[in-house]
Amino acid sequence: MTFVDLPGAVPGGGVVTPPPTTAVPSVPLTPSRAQGPVRFTGNGRAYLWLLIRGALLLAVTLGIYRFWLSTDVRRFLWVHTEIDGDSLEYTGTPFELLIGFLIAVAVLIPIYVGLFVLALNLGVIGQFMGILALPLLAFLGQFAVYRARRYRLTRTVFRGIRFHQGGSALRFAVYAMFWWILIVLTIGLAYPFAQAALERFKMKNTYYGNLRGRFEGSGFDLLFRGIAMWLLVMVPLVGSIAYASAAIDWSSIKSISGATDFEELLRQFSAANPKLVLTLGTAMAIANLSVTFAILLFPVFQAVVMRWWINGLRIGEVAISSQLRVGTIYYSYVRFVGWSLLLGLIAIIVAIIGAVVMAVVGKSVAGQQSMEILGVVGAVLFYVVIMLGYSTIYQATVKLTMWRHAVATVAIANLPALDNVVAEGVPSSALGEGLADALNVGGI
């Protein structure tokens, strides 16, 4: 684990925190805490064991164990995060999450049933019910995200004082929907500003005791850091569309007559454009470049956003800055892909052996019908194991690295401001967590 290693000035943070080992700290550190203000003390092996055990229990309890697993995961991450010598504490319990889930079920059942009945009654229009329901569920999802954040904050205790969050989740959801529409309309260009605005909303409603948070990251700053990536992904895509529309004689489509189905239309159209296949192929190849860039750049993008986000966090007079390295995050993804490939290889071997055994042994014992059911059960089991395996590997590589590295590269200016905070705030219900769970928008 690396401790804070600052070159002198922190970009973006505005406040300078000296490395703990240098002689003249502008912010005096208490002598007993010489190791650096923020560190992660968790053991990767212990975390992996926790995840593997959790995955097995998830499988045998049809997922009910998830409340216990996510509580364990949070406890592990929180407790092993040490700020200025004192570790964070997570006070949430699995039963709270379970109750939150039950409340969410109670809220969602009437909504689902209502949508179903409406779809039945509307006939043809009912088919579009799915599309109409999507914004409603997205809205609920944003509501849940905000409320879940509130739950997690009020269950986070540091030095005998809890964090808490005010603000209306409804207003946040409206706000978030507005920004997401804008992001779609601007093909992603509004993303930095959306992030900045939503984070400002969240942070200005975030408190540690009586210390109020705020967010100082600027959308322009993130745009500046990310625009090259955006161009790398967008230019080939736009280029391929432009190329295809310029190279193909679209006017010939008007002259096509007597075509009753798509195949006939295509045949006449390609007759008018002898190089149609070649042109479309080239355009597809260029567009594929976009996809490749997007996949390769995703970890970089994530790291850039994360560093920008941490650099913007403030609580009272306390300023946080990050020296997060893109390479570390990238390497964690490489490890994820490597382990996933290994798991996939093992899974394929096991599946082949299983199929052969079934073909040889099973046919003589069981009838056709039960063999089919056995096959489906086997396939489902296989799928569950693979999905849980991937998710465990992801948690143990990418997620853990992100948390550990983000924590280890954080520098905090004006730490003494955390020494005399007065307690405030009350624990909130886990409704948001439950909704987020039921709507599949869960966070940590």
Partner 1 sequence: MSAGPGIYFDGKTSTRQAVTVDAAPTALRILSNDGATLAEWPYADLQSLAAPENLLRLGRRSTRSLERLEIRDTGLAAMIDQLAVSIDRTGIAERRGRKKVIAWTFAACASLVLVAVFGVPAIADRLAPLIPLSVERNLGVAVDKQIRAMLDTSRSNGRPFECGDASRERAGREALDRLMRRMERAAELPIPLDAKVVRRREANAIALPGGHIYVFEGLIQRARSPDELAAVLAHEIGHVANRDGTRSILQAAGLSFLFGMLLGDFTGGGVVVIAARTIVQSAYARDVEAAADLYGVRLMAKIGGDGKALGTILERIGGLEPGITILSDHPETKARIQAINAAAWPKTGDPVMSPDDWVALTRICG
Site for partner 1 in 211-270 (CB under 8 A): 260-264
**96 to 135, contacts with partner 1 by CB under 8 A?**
101, 105, 112, 116, 119-124, 126-127
Q: What are phi and psi of 272, to 5 degrees?
A: -75, -25
C-beta closer to partner 1: residue 112 or 220: 112
Q: Shortest Cβ distance from residue 372 to partner 1 (Å)?
A: 5
Are 418 and 93 within 8 A, CB to CB? no
22-41 footprint of partner 1 as x/- string (CB under 8 A): -------------------x
60 sits near partner 1 (criterion: CB under 8 A): yes
Q: Note the maximum CA span of the chain.
A: 88
Q: Smallest distance from the beta carbon of 406 to partner 1, in angstroms?
A: 18
Provide the minimum distance between the beta carbon of 227 and partner 1 in the complex, in angstroms, as a whole number: 34
Token duo for residue 310: 């941490």
Binding mask 326-345 toward partner 1 (x if CB under 8 A, else -) reads --------------------
Q: Is 440 helix (H, G, I), strand (E, B) or coil?
A: coil
Q: Is 143 helix (H, G, I), strand (E, B) or coil?
A: helix
Q: What is the DSSP letter of 128?
A: G
Closest CA to 320 of 16, 3, 27: 16
If the CB atoms of residues 78 and 215 are measured against partner 1, the closer one turns out to be 78
| The two structure tokens encoding residue 426 | 């009350």
Which CB sits closer to partner 1, 307 or 314?
Answer: 314
CB of 118 or CB of 253, closer to partner 1: 118
| Per-residue interface string for the shown chain with partner 1, residues 398-427, x marking contact by CB under 8 A | --------------------xxxxxx----
List, edge to edge, every strand of the sheet that includes 161-165: 89-90, 156-158, 161-165, 206-208, 211-215, 313-315, 318-322, 410-413
Looking at beta carbons only, is 183 or 388 nearer to partner 1? Answer: 388
Structure tokens at 184: 């779609």
Residue span 4-23 as binding mask against partner 1, x where in contact by CB under 8 A, dash where not: --------------------
Residue closer to partner 1 (CB basis): 162 or 314: 162
Q: Which is closer to partner 1, CB of 9 or CB of 46? A: 46
3-state secondary structure of 255: helix
* 162 contacts partner 1 (rule: CB under 8 A): yes
Report residue 172 as tokens.
């946040």
Binding to partner 1 (CB under 8 A) within 71-90 occurs at 75, 78-80, 82, 86-87, 89-90
Q: Which of 149, 146, 211, 213 is nearest to 175 (CA)?
A: 146
Question: Exposed (0-12), middle (13-18) or buried (19+): which is 203, by Cβ within 10 Å?
Answer: buried
The DSSP code for 423 is: P
Options 62, 131, 360, 365; binder of partner 1; rule CB under 8 A: 62
Rounded distance between C-alpha atoms, residue 105 and residue 52, angstroms: 28
- Residue 93 has phi, psi (to 5 degrees) of -125, 155
Candidates 157, 174, 182, 272; binder of partner 1 (CB under 8 A) is 157
Using CB under 8 A, count the residues that bind partner 1.
72
Q: How far is the CB of 438 from partner 1 (least distance, A)?
A: 6
**Closest CB to partner 1 among 79 and 326?**
79
- Please state the closest distance from residue 138 (CB atom) to partner 1, in A: 16
Q: Which of 14, 44, 63, 114 binds partner 1 (CB under 8 A)?
A: 63
Which stretch in 135-143, 175-183, 199-207, 366-374 sits in contact with partner 1 by CB under 8 A?
A: 366-374
Task: Verify binding: residue 365, partner 1, rule CB under 8 A.
Answer: no
Identify the residue among 251, 257, 364, 369 touching partner 1 (CB under 8 A).
369
The only residue of 1, 64, 181, 348 in contact with partner 1, by rule CB under 8 A:
64
| 306 alpha carbon, distance to own chain's centre | 12
The answer to whether the beta carbons of residues 423 and 417 sit under 8 Å apart is no
Q: Who contacts 288 (Cβ-Cβ below 8 Å, separation ≥6)? A: none
* Closest CB to partner 1 among residues 126, 167: 126
Answer whether 323's CB lies under 8 Å from 229's CB: no
CB 96 within 8 A of CB 152: no
- Which CB, 28 or 263, lies closer to partner 1? 263
Q: Supply the DSSP string of 61-111, one letter for each residue.
A: TTTTTHHHHHHHHHHHHHHTEEETTEE-EE---HHHHHHHHHHHHHHHHHH
DSSP 360: I
Stretch that binds partner 1, among 7-15, 245-253, 288-296, 369-377 (CB under 8 A): 369-377
